Amino acid sequence: MGFIKEGYSVIRRYQGLMSDYGSDSPDLKEAFYKANFYEKTALLLSSWFGTGLMPLAPGSFGTLAAVPPVIIINYFGSVPSGIFLIILIPLAVWTSNISKKLLGKDDPPEVVIDEVTGFFIAVFLLPFSWLSFILGFLLFRVFDILKPFPIRMIDKRVKGGFGIVLDDIVAGIYANICVRVVMEQLLQ
């Protein structure tokens, strides 16, 4: 029982640090209560139905939460996948931009629809296998966290919802290319 209390205590301290970090900015829950229907929809989608509220590694949890819908959409083939991607990118930009304004942060950690978009691109048009999905997930997270050129430059220079999403799009493209190379080498 003591272990559970210690774990809970660590999480509460982390949440305290996070709230101190952005103490002049409203948290997602507060912003949600004050928002109109249009803004609530943006907050709900941008947090990928609440996965962005995870206290540790919200981007990784957001990416993980994207796995089931991506598997389902990929099952239907390349045309539905392409249509979904065409819808997802502007939706991610729109929701990220609104959430950024409501939360008062340049790139709120609660906004994870950009990770969903990046992961979808990381596995876009790849032959389905657990290996390709695991590699896509891991490589996307590596590129998103390390931000090799030009991802870091995009992250710093491009503002608004487009900036929040664009660095993840590029990370997803990098991951997709790398997964293709690895899969090609493994299949030889």
Domains of the chain, by residue range, sit at 27-187
What span, in angstroms and rounded, lies between the C-alpha atoms of 55 and 36?
Answer: 25
Residue 53 and residue 112 in contact, taking contact as beta carbons nearer than 8 Å: no
Closest CA to 115 of 63, 150, 70: 63
Closest CA to 98 of 56, 144, 49, 36: 36
Q: What is the largest CA-CA distance in the chain?
A: 57
**pLDDT digits (tens), the chain, 188 positions:** 444 444 444 344 444 434 434 434 568 778 888 889 999 999 999 999 989 888 889 999 999 999 999 999 988 999 999 999 999 999 999 999 999 999 998 889 999 999 999 999 999 999 888 999 999 999 999 999 999 999 999 989 999 999 999 999 999 999 999 999 999 998 87
Query: What's phi and psi for 129, nearest 5 deg?
Result: -160, 155
